[in-house]
Structure 1
Amino acid sequence: MLVPFLIMLREGLEAALVVGIIASYLRQTGRGAWMPAVWIGIFLATALALFVGAGLQFASAEFPQRQQELFEALVGFLAVGVLTWMVMWMRRAASGMRRELTRSLDRAFGSGRRHTYALIGMVFLAVAREGLESIFFLLAVFQQSSSSAAPLGALLGLVVAAVAGLALYRGSLKLPLAHFFRLTGLFILLVAAGLFAGSVRALHEAGLWNHAQGVVFDLSDRLPLDTPLGSLFSGIFGYQPAPTVSEVIAYIGYLAVASWLLWLGPSSPRASAATQPRHGRA
């Protein structure tokens, strides 16, 4: 329940930030009459996300067992890619998000009679991106977790995000968003590592990956999955009491690569500052 809640809280806040910036700009520039276009974009994006999620869920239910395992692995890998991209995109784009959105809005309203469609399209693309990311993540979590509380956690996260977004828009709530997205980014990388290892396990169960299947350690007697702590670790970190060599390599390897890309990669501010030429006296 905790993982879907936090992910949907973050995803919902990202969408709420974009919509809030657009709504605030419309209000400040005397264009509040165009708010119905914003709601149309939100409605269309939500409908698309629900349609895609329902279609994928119904399609997977018709697969035989082996194909279900393969589908679980593919959705898991896709969710890992989406979560990783989401963390890196927000880290790089958050500081200039308001500036870029207001520029896009100015261009939209300068497009003549088509500005209504342009505004709907902006909101639709922003909300649809977050919605589709959430759908693929939730599919992966629901398939790799048997907890019946996961959908409730996702719904609660979305509700809290909507309330927080409304409070941010009205100015009654001040959140340290930079710290919030940094901390949740760390959490999401741990979740994604567990999904990545679980997808490797699903590939083995589908009969497509049979390498490095030796058991690294076995904690089935000390911390089984059916205990509260084992279930919590499984839901958050992808814990398995008897992981194989390939699962451990996948977990640690993903964390190493993702951490390098996020903090030590050439596009990070720290690395960029380190590679800037220093001008001294000739």
Structure 2
Amino acid sequence: MLVPFLIMLREGVEAALIVAIVASYLDHVGRGDAMRSVWIGVAAAVALSAAIGVAIAVSASELPQRLQELFEAAVGLFAAVMLTAMALWMGKAAKSIRAALHAGIEKAFASGSQGVALAGLAFFAVAREGIESVLFLMAAWQQRDDVGIEALFGAVGGLVVAIGVGIALHRGGRRFNLAGFFRWTGLFILFVAAGLLAGALRALHEAGLWNGLQGIAFDLSRVLPTDGFLGALLAGVFGYADAPTWGEVALWLAYFIPALILFRRATAPAAPIGKPVIS
């Protein structure tokens, strides 16, 4: 229950933050009535994300065991790619996302159909987070065999808390540090994506498509077992394994180190213009 709660809380806060920025700006320019179009875009994005989640779940349940393992690996790989792209995007856009959203709103006002434009702005912003959430949840749940109805309650609970955070940000969010928020959540995403890749490799082995580097790299089952509370939490969020293989460790490092370097470059402050370079 805690894992889906944390997933939906993090993803929901990002979506709520975007909606809060839009709502605050509309209030600032005296166009609060335009929020109706924004909510239509948000509802459409939520509906699309839910439909994709249902379609993935139904498709996976009808596959034979071997194809289910392949499907699990494919979802994990695709989710890792998408999460990485999102992290790098957040790193670059963190310092300008508020200005970009404001510019998008002004462009919508200048267009002949501002309602459609505002709905589209909200739709694409929230759909990006919603689809990411679906892939994240599916990949995390596929790594666990004990998912029950409590997981659904956890996801809904995380979303409810995220909505509350969004309301609080709308009422007093001008002091919210967007750059810091996106920087730390981006780093969190990189850890998650690395775990998803390791889990995808594990699924490929179970499907019989990968049999290399299957020796145990290290064994932490006595110190931090995955059937304990902390181990289960780490497994659900970061793909932690208490006895990973050399292949999983190698893939984790081969992804995380370059991804971290790219992310640090994306989040690095821009060099000042017009100042001499001291050698």
Give the structure-2-normalised TM-score.
0.88
Corresponding position: 1:30 with 2:2 = no
1:145 alignment partner in structure 2: 144
Quote how far apart the aligned CAs of 1:217 are.
2.8
Whole-angstrom CA distance in 2 between matches of 1:170 and 1:223: 42
Quote how far apart the aligned CAs of 1:229 are.
3.8
Q: 1:14 to 1:224 in 2, by over 3 A?
A: closer
1:218 alignment partner in structure 2: 219
Offset from partner CA, 1:49-86 (integer Å, 9 cap, x none): 00010011001100000110000001011111222222
Whole-angstrom CA distance in 2 between matches of 1:197 and 1:23: 40
Whole-angstrom CA distance in 1 between matches of 2:193 and 2:242: 18
Q: 1:182 to 1:4 in 2, by over 3 A?
A: farther
8 Å contact 1:5–1:156 — kept in the other structure?
yes
Offset from partner CA, 1:83-107 (integer Å, 9 cap, x none): 2222222222122112111222222
Whole-angstrom CA distance in 1 between matches of 2:235 and 2:163: 28
Whole-angstrom CA distance in 1 between matches of 2:275 and 2:89: 28
Offset from partner CA, 1:183-235 (integer Å, 9 cap, x none): 33333322222111010110111122122222223344555432334323322
Tell me the matched-pair count.
Answer: 276
Secondary structure at the counterpart of residue 95 of structure 1: coil
Corresponding position: 1:6 with 2:34 = no
8 Å contact 2:225–2:231 — kept in the other structure?
yes
2:119 alignment partner in structure 1: 120
Whole-angstrom CA distance in 2 between matches of 1:268 and 1:174: 20
Corresponding position: 1:48 with 2:48 = yes
Whole-angstrom CA distance in 1 between matches of 2:74 and 2:60: 11
8 Å contact 1:167–1:173 — kept in the other structure?
no
Q: List alignment gaps of at least 5 residues for structure 1.
A: none
Quote how far apart the aligned CAs of 1:256 are.
0.8
Whole-angstrom CA distance in 2 between matches of 1:222 and 1:269: 37
In structure 2, what residue type is equivalent to 1:241?
D
Whole-angstrom CA distance in 2 between matches of 1:98 and 1:141: 31
Tell me which moved more, 67-76 or 238-247. Answer: 238-247
Whole-angstrom CA distance in 2 between matches of 1:176 and 1:152: 30
Whole-angstrom CA distance in 2 between matches of 1:71 and 1:175: 40
8 Å contact 2:76–2:196 — kept in the other structure?
yes
Q: List alignment gaps of at least 5 residues for structure 2.
A: none
Whole-angstrom CA distance in 2 between matches of 1:26 and 1:160: 24
Give the structure-1-normalised TM-score.
0.88
2:172 alignment partner in structure 1: 171
Tell me which moved more, 116-125 or 53-62. Answer: 116-125
8 Å contact 1:2–1:236 — kept in the other structure?
no
